[in-house]
Amino acid sequence: DTRIRSALPTINYLIENGAKVILASHFGRPKGERKPEMSLAPCAKHLSDLINKPVAFVDDCIGPKVEEAVKALQSG
């Protein structure tokens, strides 16, 4: 929570100024496997609660799902 909260002033500034904000992070992928308990989905939900705006979560960093999510972004 500390890292999310420390980024809030910047995230809010970007939103207020009409930016399309894309955040990326990871917990890791031990031995190349996806582990549901290491998903960042709960962090996206928490961020959404903190900024009172919907936060889209994509469970990858490249590929068609990411491209579609980026195309769907709205300013602010």
Domain ranges of the chain: 2-72
The predicted model scores a pTM of 0.86
**For the chain, how far is it from start to end, CA to CA, in angstroms?**
22
Q: What is the pLDDT of residue 19?
A: 96
Indicate if the pLDDT at residue 8 is higher than 80. yes
CA torsion angle 63 69 42 40 (round to 10): 30
Q: What is the pLDDT of residue 71?
A: 96
pLDDT digits (tens, 9 = 90+) for 27-39: 876 777 888 888 9
Tell me the C-alpha to C-alpha distance, in Å, between residue 7 and each of 11, 29, 30, 70: 6, 24, 27, 21
pLDDT digits (tens, 9 = 90+) for 37-67: 889 999 999 999 999 999 999 998 899 999 9
